[in-house]
Amino acid sequence: MGDLKVAIMLGSLRLEPYEGMKKAADLGVGGLHISVDGGMFAPENLDSAARKELVRHLGTLGLEISAISCWGGQVDLTHADQHETNLPWAYRVLDLAADLGCGIWQGHIGIIPADFESEKGQAALEAAHRIAEHGEKVGACLAIETGPEPPVVLRNLIETVGSPAIRINYDPANLILWPPHLFKLEDRPYDKAEAMARYDPHAGVEVLGPYVVHTHAKDALVHEDGRAQEVPLGDGWIDWPRYVSLLKEQGFEGYFAIEREVGEDPVGDITKAVRFLQSL
């Protein structure tokens, strides 16, 4: 497994962006996962020349963009009355992904209902169809991030839309972190057996594997009191050798992008995560 393509989510380093790029190169990874949700890398702040210059600069460091990240939870495509605002935004992000050479936009799009005949289900399907149409035109895809829905719901969405421009960013830790939150919303205690029956991060690879184009390398666990916690890579419930093998069996050849959203020493945690992935 020493041939894993490893990337780092630039924002997780919590460094000035260009300093973070240099740090990623020093750590020996090949990719950067860059947020374009505002700031210097947002679509509106990068004209054609700036996009080319960003790709050129990363190339001098031996880096490429594994994927861009946008919509970390602030957009919900299950509301049809928001499509007029959100869909043009989506098209600009897809254009940027194509221009930056990765062709992958990772994002959250709201909690997709299992019933596609419901009002929210119909809205999500309409939005996905329209995003897919633009993605096919420009050569980029929306990689929906796993988390709030059981994997089977996302698979059903992808197969209903039937487009290569709707794919998956598989975040195994999210499938551990989300169920306790959903149980709490239902005002009942966390039940690990029930959660794993629907959200098992390893079994989910067999459901979504053919559609995974990018994955987050992130780990998590749930304490006995039902409290979910993101933890350093290798310290949680993800069996990483098994997870990597499952993805490879599905033909996955993309990046494992290290994401670290918490912790007092992000650079230290990410350095250990890089070494951990390289040592598998």
**pLDDT of res. 251:** 96
Position 76: which residue type?
A: D
What's the confidence (pLDDT) of residue 2? 54
Phi then psi dihedrals of residue 271, to 5 deg? -60, -45
Res 263: pLDDT: 83
Model pLDDT for residues 47-93, shown as the tens digit of each residue = 999 999 999 999 999 999 999 999 988 899 999 999 999 999 999 99
**Residue 262 in contact with residue 220, Cβ under 8 Å?**
no
The partner residues of 255 in beta bridges, in order of sequence, read 5
> Does the domain made of 5-171+193-218+241-279 have the CATH classification 3.20.20.150?
yes
pLDDT of the residue at 1: 39
Low-confidence ranges of the chain (pLDDT < 50): 1
Task: Tell me what pLDDT residue 166 has.
Answer: 98
pTM of the predicted structure, to 2 decimals: 0.96
Query: What is the rounded average pLDDT for all residues in the chain?
Result: 96
**SS (HEC) of 97-148:** HHHCCCCEEEECCCCCCCCCCCHHHHHHHHHHHHHHHHHHHHCCEEEEECCC
DSSP structure string for the chain: -TT-EEEEEGGGG-S-HHHHHHHHHHTT-SEEEEE-SSSTTSGGG--HHHHHHHHHHHHHTT-EEEEEE--SSS--TT-GGGHHHHHHHHHHHHHHHHHTT--EEEE------S-TTSHHHHHHHHHHHHHHHHHHHHT-EEEEEPSSS-HHHHHHHHHHHT-TTEEEEE-TTHHHHHHHHHHHHTTS---HHHHHHHH-TTHHHHHHGGGEEEEEE-EEEE-TTS-EEEE-TTSSS--HHHHHHHHHHTT--SEEEE---S-S-HHHHHHHHHHHHHH-
